[in-house]
Amino acid sequence: MMKKIVKNPQQWQSQLDPEQYRVTREAGTEAPFSGRYCDHVDDGQYHCICCNHPLFGSTSKFHSGCGWPSFNGELDTAEITQRPDLSHGMNRIELLCPQCDAHLGHIFNDGPPPTGQRYCINSAALGFESDNETSE
């Protein structure tokens, strides 16, 4: 079983920049087409910016045109938490890191085959580790 990481707001604020904190700890959304990973194409693995939990492989990333990084599936070991989100007058499914409950984004059923899913993820919620070297 995965051990939960729990920190108070001050601890998260000292670890994250203001945009990362707003997105991951306050369920914010970055502006479309503004995130560093929107058009990112390097080979590697995306992880939670808060706790480094592995979430997505670059092979599942695709260009959806929606303005946020999009993936058609998560890593087999990711175990991303899904929960209903009725905020802003919409009926969506929110995605959370299973290890630290960071808000990642939302999932939609308009993605490409084979899953038909689009994991619409905020760049501010992600870090990236290249297959060639380690990077943020």
Looking at every residue in the chain, the average pLDDT score rounds to 95
Which residues, 6 or more positions from 79, have their beta carbon under 8 angstroms from its beta carbon?
A: 2, 98
Which one, of 120, 124, 98, 123, lies nearest residue 107 by Cα?
Answer: 120
In the predicted structure, residue 135 carries a pLDDT above the cut 50: no
CB-based burial label for 66 (10 Å; 0-12, 13-18, 19+): middle
Domain spanning 9-130 has what CATH number?
A: 2.170.150.20
Domain boundaries, the chain: 9-130
How large is the average pLDDT for residues 39-58?
97
Give the model's confidence band at 31: pLDDT under 50 very low, under 70 low, under 90 confident, else very high: very high
pLDDT score of 133: 64
Q: How far apart are CA 130 and CA 86, in angstroms?
A: 35
Residues marked as catalytic:
120
Question: How many beta carbons lie within 10 A of that of residue 122, not counting itself?
Answer: 28
**pLDDT tens per residue across span 88-119:** 888 999 999 999 999 999 999 999 999 999 99
pLDDT score of 88: 84
Higher pLDDT: 38 or 136? It is 38
